[in-house]
Amino acid sequence: MRGKVLSYVDLEGAGLISGDDGARYPFVRGALQNGVRVVSAGTEVDFQIEDGKAVSVYVVSGPIGEKNRIAAALLAAFLGHWGVHKFYLGKTNAGIIMLLLGTVGWILVLPAVINWVIAICEFIIYLTKSDLEFYQEYVVGDRSWL
């Protein structure tokens, strides 16, 4: 059956799906398939029903998160030297480090060059990941670097 995720709490590992039949079905993290660890409200899913619960939940499409990987990649490419993409992703400490190295680092040259290399590598990484992988690693997983 098809449906939409109404809510999901990562700390509890549980959520609620509204099925196309109008009924609501609870599900747990273990029901998520294809390596998906978390979903957000509004995500379209395909699932089976057992004992009034959603099992074998597959993500079909939908909003994965607030942060767009393409926007993050473009910020990394054009303003990554100053860590703007880190601030966009909410990684304030990493952003401050890159901002300092990007501004003051030119005195020593090497820190500024390292900043550019990191920014370009992250640009490529963001573009090569799927939206779901990006969301899981950089938003949910709280990954700050590469």
Summarize pLDDT for 57-108 with one digit per residue, the tens.
Answer: 998 865 556 678 899 999 999 999 899 999 998 889 999 999 998 888 778 8
Tell me, yes or no, whether 48 and 81 share the same domain.
no
Quote the number of domains for the chain: 2
Which pLDDT tens digit goes with each residue over 99-126? 998 888 778 888 888 999 999 999 999 9
52 in a domain, yes or no? Answer: yes
Any idea which residue has 């509004």 for tokens?
42
What CATH number does the domain containing 19 carry? 2.40.50.140
Task: Report the DSSP beta bridge partners of residue 17.
Answer: 5, 25
Range with the lowest mean pLDDT among 22-26, 33-37, 83-87, 98-102? 33-37
Among 61, 77, 110, the domain boundary falls at 61
Q: Which domain holds residue 87?
A: 69-140
- Tell me phi and psi for residue 133, to 5 degrees: -60, -45
Q: What is the mean pLDDT of the chain?
A: 88
Q: Please tell me the distance from the alpha carbon of residue 128 to that of residue 75, in angstroms, as a whole number.
A: 15
Single pTM value for the model: 0.63
